[in-house]
């Protein structure tokens, strides 16, 4: 019996010591995966840093060219009768985006030259368009002072000012100003035209003095005379039915609005590019 018990005791002793030295199989993987799970969860919840929005070029940074669009969104409805008693004139505020159109065409003409629109209070230009009566008027000085006030602290190197201008209608003693429509004559011998009298001026941003515009050449003058000999480029004939019954009706006349905007676009696209070619 003793001889059989001794080998059995030795074998049990060996197995017990071996089992004590072997680590449990289930705890090793858990010890390895637990540290890896934390970085993954942290990475998934990390939010990207917010990026700052770039400054709008039209309202921030150095200003080379400030644009003052000054039609005031005013549309003129004018009747020219056979006598002075048949004449009538009215300025109608419209929401046709005429000043927005002016700035858009300036930006297109400027090409790579950055421009900034200068905003101003409603009615800020009224004193120039409707001055107090007097014997003498210095338009250059008036405009210079007006742009100084409108520009404020914009700090632009120069300002391109696009405003309503004025001219005399051929074959009459009547003048036309700004953007509008006029009718002339009576009954079957009457006709209607839309017109766009627009003036463009450079103003120095430091002194606010009026600057020279594009150089006038002999060839340019002759071409202008030839163009106007055939037809006045400031006028576009339209159907008489487009003339509003009352001046106030013009504001809701979509056909008149679209025709006027198209004609004004053509005028601006012709007169603006030379100001950025010098």
CA-based nearest residue to 162, from 229, 107, 235: 107
What is the model's pLDDT at position 221? 59
Structural domain includes residue 29: no
Distances in whole angstroms, Cα of residue 52 to Cα of each of 46, 55, 59, 111: 19, 9, 16, 27
Q: How far apart are the C-alpha atoms of 57 and 63, rounded to whole Å?
A: 9
CA-based nearest residue to 272, from 213, 212, 229, 232: 213
Structural domain includes residue 35: no
What is the model's pLDDT at position 207? 97
What is the model's pLDDT at position 255? 97
pTM for the model: 0.74
**Helix, strand, or coil (residue 12):** helix
Structural domain includes residue 24: no
- Residue-wise pLDDT for 180-211, tens only, equals 999 998 777 889 999 999 999 999 999 999 99
Q: How far apart are the C-alpha atoms of 75 and 94, rounded to whole Å?
A: 7
Q: Contact, 162 vs 156, CB < 8 A?
A: no
Q: Show the tokens assigned to 83.
A: 């006598």
- Which residues in the chain land under pLDDT 50? 1-58, 229
Alpha helix positions (H), the chain: 2-21, 27-45, 98-110, 126-129, 139-151, 218-230, 254-271
Contacts for 169 with CB less than 8 Å, ≥ 6 apart: 80, 175, 176, 182
What is the model's pLDDT at position 172? 85
Domain count, the chain: 1
Domain around 237 = 63-275
Q: Contact, 76 vs 89, CB < 8 A?
A: yes
Adjacent-strand bridge partners of 161: 68, 201
Q: How far apart are the C-alpha atoms of 217 and 67, rounded to whole Å?
A: 26
What is the model's pLDDT at position 257? 98
Structural domain includes residue 113: yes
Structural domain includes residue 139: yes
What is the model's pLDDT at position 48? 41
Structural domain includes residue 111: yes
Q: Show the tokens assigned to 45.
A: 């919840």
Structural domain includes residue 123: yes
Structural domain includes residue 18: no
């Amino acid at each position: 019996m003793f001889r059989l018990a001794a080998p059995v005791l030795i074998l049990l002793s060996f197995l017990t010591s071996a089992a004590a030295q072997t680590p449990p199989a289930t705890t090793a993987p858990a010890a390895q995966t637990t540290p890896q799970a934390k970085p993954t969860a942290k990475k998934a919840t990390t939010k990207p840093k917010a990026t700052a929005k770039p400054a709008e070029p039209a309202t921030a940074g150095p200003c080379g060219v400030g644009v003052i669009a000054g039609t005031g969104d005013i549309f003129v409805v004018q009747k020219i009768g056979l006598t002075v008693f048949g004449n009538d004139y009215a300025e109608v505020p419209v929401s046709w985006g005429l000043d927005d159109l002016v700035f858009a065409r300036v930006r297109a003409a400027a090409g790579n030259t950055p421009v900034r629109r200068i905003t101003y209070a409603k009615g800020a230009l009224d004193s120039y368009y409707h001055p107090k009566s007097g014997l003498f008027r210095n338009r250059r000085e008036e405009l210079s002072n007006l742009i100084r006030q409108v520009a404020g602290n914009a700090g632009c190197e120069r300002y391109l000012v696009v405003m309503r201008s004025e001219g005399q209608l051929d074959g009459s003693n009547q003048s036309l100003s700004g953007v509008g429509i006029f009718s002339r004559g009576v009954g079957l011998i009457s006709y209607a035209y839309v017109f766009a009298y627009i003036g463009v001026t450079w103003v120095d941003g430091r002194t606010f003095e009026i600057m020279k515009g594009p150089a006038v050449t002999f060839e340019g003058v002759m071409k202008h005379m030839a163009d106007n000999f055939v037809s006045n480029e400031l006028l576009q004939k339209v159907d008489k039915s487009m003339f509003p019954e009352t001046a106030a009706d013009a504001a809701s006349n979509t056909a008149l609005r679209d025709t006027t905007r198209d004609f004004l676009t053509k005028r601006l696209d012709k007169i603006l590019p030379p100001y950025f070619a010098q």
